[in-house]
Amino acid sequence: MSFSAQELQNIAAAALDFYMKGKPLSQTIQDKPLLKAMYEGSDKTFPGGKETVRRNVKGIYSTQMQGYDTDDVVSFTNPSNMVQINFPWKELHAGITMTMTELKKDGISVDDSMTGKNTSQHSDAELTQISSLLADKLEDMTEGVSRSMNSIGWLDGTQDPKVYPGVRAFIVENPTTGVVAGLDRATNTWWRNRAMTALTPGGGIIQTSPANQTLSQFLRREVRQLKRYGGKPTLLLAGSSFLNSLETEVSQKGIYTQEGFLKKGSTDIGLADISMRGVGQFEYDPTLDDLGFPDYCYFIDPKRLYMMKMEGEDMKKHYPARPHDQYVIFQGVTFTGMVVTEQLNCHGVYQAA
């Protein structure tokens, strides 16, 4: 028995809708906490019809109090310090295809009649065969979308001019140079993230010291600076080496209880994560290891660094018709959006050894 091209298209469309009806990390293999926080955690959208998303920011204030007596001449200021930043949105695509030849090899015959007149009733076995074939392809597509979205979210955008910049474009190791969203960080000192890495001017790698608690104390001091201008860095993503360094310090001074290591009730080491009172919950992000940054940790304020999606273009499903000159079936999804930041001095990147 055979399927018509239209029947096959309907089955493929239904299967794609099932696999992609949730978020793109529903079929994850490796944890992707950044993608989960930025994609699932953001419901911010923008309308179509614009090339960029714009924000107004301000880091300088001109108005000041002035002493006077009797008929002293006083001054008046006309503040004009607001500047505009902009973020161009990008279009992303992922798709799969299957040929009628490979369907035949899987025991599935396709009648190319769009009306389906030449087909007969299909057995459960036939439906199971095509479901198995589609499941394998769609599982690959779902995880592939998840992996690539996660990778793009971490990278700085220089790998491809047609994708949006990710976290490493905004939270950089040398925050004293470069242009972000149209603003020069060299002249706008308030438009900088905090950093302490081997590439940070005047900085360096933070050396772990179990005896002196160097890394732990540095992070506690640093959080005060990240919160100085209203920031709330609640997303602490670290590579495995950074967590090893921090764990070495914490466990050295800690007390083991049934609930894990405790340091005077302020620090807890679970099986994989570390929580420090006054600092936050550190979370292991395997992608940092994959990218070659296992000794790095990023402090992120998710309310000031987040993903925006174009209305109606968030994982939009597409079911293209078969080309007249190809015996193939196509299925795809597209995403339109970008990563946006409204403030930089509430984020930080740190390297430990």
pLDDT, the chain, mean: 84
CA-only gyration radius of the chain, Å: 27
Query: How many angstroms separate the CA atoms of 85 and 342, rounded?
Result: 9
76 lies in some domain: no
Cα–Cα distances (Å) from 254 to 217, 251, 262, in that order, read 14, 5, 5
66 lies in some domain: no
List the beta bridge partners of residue 306: 340
Whether the pLDDT of residue 165 is over 50: the answer is yes
75 lies in some domain: no
**What's the CA angle centered on 39, arms 33 and 41, to 5 degrees?**
80
The SS3 assignment for 236 reads strand
Q: What confidence category does residue 102 fall into, taking pLDDT thresholds of 50, 70 and 90? A: confident
Q: What confidence category does residue 330 fall into, taking pLDDT thresholds of 50, 70 and 90? A: confident
List the beta bridge partners of residue 300: 235
336 lies in some domain: yes
Backbone angles phi, psi at 138, to 5 degrees: -75, -30
pLDDT tens for 61-87 read 889 999 999 999 999 999 989 999 999
Neighbours of 94 (CB within 10 A): 19
9 lies in some domain: yes
Tell whether the torsion through CA atoms of 256, 258, 261 and 266 is positive or negative: negative
**What's the CA angle centered on 176, arms 173 and 182, to 5 degrees?**
100
pLDDT tens for 10-46 read 666 666 666 665 544 444 478 899 999 988 877 789 9
Whether the pLDDT of residue 244 is over 90: the answer is yes
The SS3 assignment for 280 reads strand
Q: Which structural domain, as residue segments, surrounds residue 33?
A: 2-58+85-351
Q: Are 205 and 215 in contact (CB under 8 A)?
A: no
- When mean pLDDT is compared across 38-52, 116-130, 163-177, the lowest value belongs to 116-130
| Count of domains observed in the chain | 1
Q: Which two tokens stand for residue 338?
A: 């970008």
72 lies in some domain: no
User: For the residues of 264-278, what is the DSSP string, one character each?
Assistant: TTSEEE-SS-EEETT
Q: Are 312 and 327 in contact (CB under 8 A)?
A: no
Measuring CA to CA, which residue among 163, 17, 15 is closest to residue 90?
163
Cα–Cα distances (Å) from 164 to 109, 266, 312, in that order, read 42, 39, 18
Query: How many angstroms separate the CA atoms of 48 and 51, rounded?
Result: 8
Q: According to the model, what pLDDT value does residue 250 have?
A: 82
Query: How many angstroms separate the CA atoms of 353 and 208, rounded?
Result: 6
Query: How many angstroms separate the CA atoms of 2 and 120, rounded?
Result: 7
Query: How many angstroms separate the CA atoms of 6 and 262, rounded?
Result: 63
The amino acid that residue 26 corresponds to is S
71 lies in some domain: no
64 lies in some domain: no
Which residue bears the tokens 């914490």? Answer: 250
Per the confidence metrics, is the pTM higher than 0.85?
no
Query: How many angstroms separate the CA atoms of 51 and 81, rounded?
Result: 25
Q: According to the model, what pLDDT value does residue 153 have?
A: 96
